[in-house]
Structure 1
Amino acid sequence: MDILTVIQQLYPSFSKKEQFIANYILQNGKAIKNMNISVLANHVGVSNGTITHFCKKIGCYNFADLKVQLGSISTTVSPASENDILVQVHHFYQTAIERSNQLLEIKYLHQLADRIRKAARIYIYGIGSSGLSANELMLRLLRMGFNVQSITDSHLMVINSSILNEKDFVIAISSSGETTAIIDAARIAKNNKCKVVCLTTFSESRLAQLTDSYVIVSNSLFIDKERFVNSQFSTMYAIDVLCSILLTDVNLKGSMQITVDTILEHNRVE
């Protein structure tokens, strides 16, 4: 696990000033190799001592050690191509996948797949952009023959979670892991003995600590928050892997093929 991934994992435990440092490093890591500690402190608006304390908190001996670890992270972007839009977007997606691969543990995705197979009913919670991921996952599971529903309204989540039982299963999607409506619904579901798993970017978030287990992906905002890029890409990458695991089951793959054939036949009739 490289130092950028460590910083993301520890992010919820940082103070506000430490988060300023983390944000700068996660988004401008390459630039720091040419800085001394005072220059970085001036850029971020904190003291040298705060940066030194931050370095130790993330497992570095000092600022020089942080620079060494940042320098050891490979990059495939050519400086001559930095202003090429195609290269910039490609680098964003490539970085998101690389960081997600460091965070994703395949055994947890296999466990999630097992829970999905065994559940009588599956409910996927998500709000805002995470709601789009919830809808996409719902459509994929629906085409495999699962009894599944996505819920993207906070009031409906509370209503739904209040009538669940031990035969049901909830997948909660929240990048921050701090979305109050998702946390409240997950807590109610668990009180009703329903199993809950979340997809999030922080293992120390309130949602991750509340649920039965979690799947961690990279946070796209730490890669580049200045461009209009897909904030759900890392989550969708995990969903792609999850669905690939499920489709190794010949029965589920057969169900999906039936939906493909049905749609094609329906389009021919029209």
Structure 2
Amino acid sequence: MNNFQKMANSALDELSNVFAKMNDKDIRPLLDSIEKADRIFLLGAGREGLSTREFAMRLMHLGKEAHWLWDDTTPAVSPGDLFICACGSADVSHENVICDNAKQAGANLLLITPSSEGYLLSIADIVIKVPAMAYKAVYHSEDDYVPTNQMMGNQFEQALLIFFDVIVMMLKDEMDLTNEDMEARHRNVE
């Protein structure tokens, strides 16, 4: 086996092990919150943010009113809105401030993280754990994560992208939508 295949297989095995530690019960609060929400706001920073922004797009394709926080057209957060933050360490200063502001505006804060400690855990209404290794995350037990040979949070960032796509597939089925329903909402002027 060449070096590329060896490293690729290692990364894929790690991701398989991350998802093997999760089940329907772990993610049910996320599914229910999204299905009930009239408006959803999403936040993530860096590479976690790239995965989360992709999720915002797919929520729109599902027919949800979804807003990526950093877009210039994002409206004001209101009471009852769902505010989803993906944060590996659960403690990034600007995300802490933004999530505090969202809570003060009346949003329900849903945090997606692998971390066992961090400011955002103390203010989140719902926490969804993705048991991957993230940059600067704190773990209380080796059962809380899958060991990695990758650097600087790669495993969590990769897991987020796949995690969000699986959530969208589940929501599509639960909302009784078809691929064609979603494709009809895709941007059509490109």
Superposition TM-score tier, normalisation by shorter sequence? 0.7 to 0.9
Q: Aligned match of 2:169 in 244, 248, 266?
A: 244
Q: Which amino acid aligns with 2:20?
A: N
Over alpha carbons, which structure has the higher Rg?
A: 1
Matches within 5 A, 1:84-99: 84-99=3-18
Q: Which amino acid aligns with 2:55?
A: L
Does the CA-based 8 Å contact 1:220-1:233 persist in structure 2?
no
Shift >4 Å, 4+ stretches: 226-231, 261-264
Q: 2 CA distance for matches of 1:88 and 1:167?
A: 44
Does the CA-based 8 Å contact 1:127-1:152 persist in structure 2?
no
Q: Percent identity, please.
A: 19
SS at match of 2:34: helix
1:250, CA displacement in angstroms?
Answer: 4.7
Using CA pairs under 8 Å that are at least 6 residues apart, name the structure with larger relative contact order, 1 or 2: 2
Which residue in the other structure is 1:119 paired with? 37
Which residue in the other structure is 1:59 paired with? none
Q: What is the TM-score when the length of structure 2 is the normalising length?
A: 0.78
Which residue in the other structure is 2:142 paired with? none
Q: 2 CA distance for matches of 1:257 and 1:189?
A: 34
Which residue in the other structure is 1:260 paired with? 183
Which residue in the other structure is 1:168 paired with? 81
Two-structure CA RMSD over aligned residues (Å): 3.0
In structure 1, runs of 5+ residues without a counterpart are: 1-80
1:108, CA displacement in angstroms?
Answer: 3.7
SS at match of 2:112: strand
Matches within 5 A, 1:75-86: 81=1, 84-86=3-5
Which residue in the other structure is 1:132 paired with? 50
SS at match of 1:248: helix
In structure 2, runs of 5+ residues without a counterpart are: 136-146
Which residue in the other structure is 1:101 paired with? 20
Show CA shifts across 1:236-267 (max 9, x none): 2321232122112254x23x523425769x59
Matches within 5 A, 1:1-270: 81=1, 84-102=3-21, 104-152=22-70, 163-217=76-130, 218-219=132-133, 223-226=148-151, 232-251=157-176, 253-254=177-178, 256-260=179-183
Q: 1 CA distance for matches of 2:90 and 2:27?
A: 18
Does the CA-based 8 Å contact 2:31-2:171 persist in structure 1?
yes
Q: 2 CA distance for matches of 1:131 and 1:142?
A: 17
Q: What is the TM-score when the length of structure 1 is the normalising length?
A: 0.57
SS at match of 2:111: strand
Show CA shifts across 1:220-242 (max 9, x none): 56512359966511112321232
Q: 1 CA distance for matches of 2:185 and 2:44?
A: 29
Does the CA-based 8 Å contact 2:134-2:153 persist in structure 1?
no
